[in-house]
A and B are shown apart, each in its own frame.
Chain A
Amino acid sequence: MASHHFNFLFKESIYPMAIVDHEMRFLNHSKLWLEELDINEPDIIGKSFYDIFPDTPQEIKKIHGECLKQTIKKHKIQKIVTSEGRLKYIDWQVKGWKEEERGLSGLLIVAEDITMAKRNEELLLSVQQVAKIGGWEFDFVANKAYLSDITKEIHELPLDYEMDLDKGLRFYKKGEHRQKMEKAINEALTHGTPWDIETILITANGHERWVRSIGECEIVDNKCIRIYGTFQNIDQKKRIELHNEEISERLTIATTDAANIGIWEYHINDEHVIWDDNLHRIYGVTKGRFKGTIEAWKAIIHPEDYMRCHTELTSTIADKKNRTMEFRIIWPNGEIRHIRTEFTISRYENGKPSRLLGATWDITESKTTELQLKDLLKITNEQNESLMNFAHIVSHNLRSHSSNLSMLTGFLLNETSDNEKINLIKMLNDASSSLNETVTHLSEVVHVKTNSEEKTKKINLQKALKKVENNITALLQEKEAVCNMRIDESIYIEAIPAYLDSILLNLFTNSIKYSSPKRKPVITIEAEEKENRVIFTFADNGLGIDLDKHGKKLFGMYKTFHNHKDSKGIGLFITKNQIEAMNGKIEVESAVDKGTTFRLRFQKTIEKEYPKTNEKNKEYLHY
């Protein structure tokens, strides 16, 4: 009775357990033993454990042996695939037994199924790897899917939803996204390749969302029997990421292609400088050539602008404002470019600056235009001013003569004395010739002012001087003037011939007119070539002019400084205008009773080289 009860209890045990003899033959087993381990044979009593479980590894066989000998208790976990192909984690708990009286011995074996625990453990591991993630697995043998609650939530599925692989795939957005997922699973099934991909999922409620799927597979006998992994909703992150990518791309297009804006960063602590590709282009530096140091950057800035930049930058960092700076840089090929940069300053919590971030662009074109515009405005103002002065001078000079004429004619009408009448007529004659002279001067000035477009020609300076000197030989001889002319015969200048003659004549006659009565006049004429200019000096040892007193008026109209009968105050005014009409300049140095030196600047003729054949042809044509 007791034995019968025991047998019943054993059969109905809630554990899958079995009892074997010392030769591992089954003596008894619970019903669950057959069910849990998928044993299809109806009767295994008397059969060997190793026949039923042919894959029993050596280490478990060893445990069996040890427990038989010493009647001890041991356990070992084994991953098995049942006859129905189910993968299970079995914790074999083995205990040896001995019945001294009957001389019997054997083992009691309990097969605890720990598959669920084991799977949870694996899922947990994945979850630990990527936080806040759902888990999933597909068991190909049972064609069953296990989804964690989070995974179902991401799919917007009810928690009791039954999933399989085909259903699962249909949740991915048709087209590239589903193809991407299918491909990953195929790769996993055929090659056991794990995956980590981001795709768009369409939830049960029809919402589109970005998910990240990480999967691995379990291979048994070269066959993937299970895939499992994690599942994460990355929609927000992904959309921000895509949005940023889009903005960044747009910014790149805007800054690089459209506006040519270069971006730079300067880390104050380690003085490290970062330039983007565009900034390299702006600075004319090949990528990779820039050393990324502040020193390398400083070296490119125009020396004249460097100190100002340095001061501005220092004060910007100090007063915590964002700033704009404009400066010039020198390209490796020597070209000077104008640069504008705007930047912001990042700071540590204590207010110490950590980093400057700036945008830079080339403003050479607009700067050049601006400068041209300023020049133009200056010229216009000057012309306006000079026109206004001219108008007043004209009115003044014409008026002074006309008032004399009207006064004299008034006297003449009332004059009775014949002698006085003759005197008045003589004065009238003087006044009218003065008026005539004034009108001639004014028209000369107008001519210079309005015909500045007249063409310049290549003129040999020495020849031009000799010609003028010859014309006034008589005057020079009368005053016993000495003329030292040290002009290289190879010097050619760009000048309007009539103007040049007039200028040189005026300089000669001025020197003679204002020569000192104490000494013989000595005139020294020199010229030197400087780049594209010719500097011409005309010095005398005459009376000289007090420049502190009269300097400003020297080249003014109708300004005279000596009590000389021929002083009209028109010569130097016209000379100056003629020189300026030829893009030249005139300056003066003088000391009273020592002499005066005029320094004139002309445009040098740039020789164009003609091929020899052409030269011959030209000569031929001249003959």
Chain B
Amino acid sequence: MKKIKSTCIIDDDPIFIYGTKRIMKEIDFCDDILVFNNGQEAIDGLLNITAQGKKLPSVVFLDLNMPIMDGWEFLENFIKIPNNNREMVTVYIISSSVDPRDVERVKGYDIVHNYILKPITPQDLKDVLADVA
């Protein structure tokens, strides 16, 4: 299995971020990890990357419930980012929500590859690796 170069985690829960980072290290998931605490921070950060002419991370783990800008709003704004490799970015929703309305709504976004229910496990990340790399 190949390694992913850059991954982005968008979540407001520090414990989740700690855990995900730790599992990523364990299974040697990627080289770089970008972390944003809400949708707005993420959009700002990603726009900054684009402005510098750099490539966007190829995998984004996105939480749904966040302050200031939630996961849904992030998706709406993200698809507007002008970057030639945006289409190479794969988004995974990672949420605690078992609300079928959320699962259904996710299907409406082509850019979202899958819906992963928290807690995230090493196996989940291995599957992502198999899909993407």
Identify the A interface with B (CB < 8 A): 392, 395-397, 399-400, 403-404, 406-408, 411, 427, 430-431, 558-563, 567, 569
Per the bound structure, the CA–CA distance linking A399 and B95 in Å amounts to 9
Per the bound structure, the CA–CA distance linking A430 and B18 in Å amounts to 13
Chain B residue total in the interface (Cβ 8 A)? 20
Q: How far is the CB of A437 from chain B (nearest CB, A)?
A: 14
Identify the B interface with A (CB < 8 A): 13, 15-16, 18-19, 22, 37-38, 65, 67-68, 95-99, 101, 118-120
A407 and B99 contacting across the interface, CB-CB below 8 Å = no
* From A392, A399, A431, A560, contact of B15 by CB (8 A): A431
Per the bound structure, the CA–CA distance linking A396 and B96 in Å amounts to 5
* Residues of chain B lying within 8 A (CB to CB) of residue A427: 15, 18
Per the bound structure, the CA–CA distance linking A181 and B122 in Å amounts to 117
Per the bound structure, the CA–CA distance linking A395 and B101 in Å amounts to 14
* Residues of chain B lying within 8 A (CB to CB) of residue A562: 67-68
Per the bound structure, the CA–CA distance linking A407 and B18 in Å amounts to 10
B67 and A567 contacting across the interface, CB-CB below 8 Å = yes
* Residues of chain B lying within 8 A (CB to CB) of residue A395: 96-99
* Residues of chain A lying within 8 A (CB to CB) of residue B98: 392, 395-396, 399
Per the bound structure, the CA–CA distance linking A560 and B99 in Å amounts to 20
* Residues of chain A lying within 8 A (CB to CB) of residue B95: 396
* From B99, B101, B119, contact of A406 by CB (8 A): B119
Q: How far is the CB of A393 from chain B (nearest CB, A)?
A: 9
* Residues of chain A lying within 8 A (CB to CB) of residue B13: 400, 404
- Residue of B18, B38, B101 with most chain A CB atoms under a 10 A cut-off: B18
B119 and A403 contacting across the interface, CB-CB below 8 Å = yes
* Residues of chain A lying within 8 A (CB to CB) of residue B68: 560-563
* Residues of chain B lying within 8 A (CB to CB) of residue A399: 96-98, 118
Per the bound structure, the CA–CA distance linking A399 and B64 in Å amounts to 14
Per the bound structure, the CA–CA distance linking A404 and B15 in Å amounts to 7
A408-B65 contact, Cβ under 8 Å, with A399-B98, A403-B118: no
* From A392, A411, A431, A569, contact of B97 by CB (8 A): A392
A430-B15 contact, Cβ under 8 Å, with A403-B96, A563-B38: yes
**Can you list 12 residue pairs at the A/B interface with Cβ under 8 Å?**
A392-B98, A396-B65, A396-B99, A399-B118, A400-B13, A404-B19, A407-B19, A411-B22, A427-B18, A430-B15, A561-B67, A567-B67
Q: How far is the CB of B13 from chain A (nearest CB, A)?
A: 7
Per the bound structure, the CA–CA distance linking A571 and B97 in Å amounts to 22
* Residues of chain B lying within 8 A (CB to CB) of residue A407: 15-16, 19, 119-120
Q: How far is the CB of A560 from chain B (nearest CB, A)?
A: 4
Name the residue on A nearest B40 (C-beta): A563
- Residue of B15, B22, B119 with most chain A CB atoms under a 10 A cut-off: B15
* Residues of chain A lying within 8 A (CB to CB) of residue B119: 403-404, 406-407
A558 and B16 contacting across the interface, CB-CB below 8 Å = no
* Residues of chain B lying within 8 A (CB to CB) of residue A430: 15
Per the bound structure, the CA–CA distance linking A5 and B96 in Å amounts to 152
* Residues of chain B lying within 8 A (CB to CB) of residue A400: 13, 16, 96, 118
Name the residue on B nearest A400 (C-beta): B96
Q: How far is the CB of A130 from chain B (nearest CB, A)?
A: 87
Name the residue on B nearest A398 (C-beta): B96
Q: How far is the CB of A561 from chain B (nearest CB, A)?
A: 6
Apart from A397-B96, A404-B16, A562-B68, what 5 extra A-B contacts exist at CB < 8 Å?
A392-B101, A406-B119, A427-B18, A558-B65, A563-B68
* Residues of chain B lying within 8 A (CB to CB) of residue A569: 67
Per the bound structure, the CA–CA distance linking A407 and B98 in Å amounts to 18
Name the residue on B nearest A430 (C-beta): B15
* Residues of chain A lying within 8 A (CB to CB) of residue B97: 392, 395-396, 399
* Residues of chain B lying within 8 A (CB to CB) of residue A408: 15, 19
Q: How far is the CB of B63 from chain A (nearest CB, A)?
A: 9
Name the residue on B nearest A560 (C-beta): B67
Per the bound structure, the CA–CA distance linking A567 and B68 in Å amounts to 10
* Residues of chain A lying within 8 A (CB to CB) of residue B38: 563
A-B pairs, top 4 by smallest CB distance, nearest first, are: A560-B67, A403-B119, A400-B96, A399-B96
Per the bound structure, the CA–CA distance linking A403 and B120 in Å amounts to 8
* Residues of chain A lying within 8 A (CB to CB) of residue B65: 396, 558
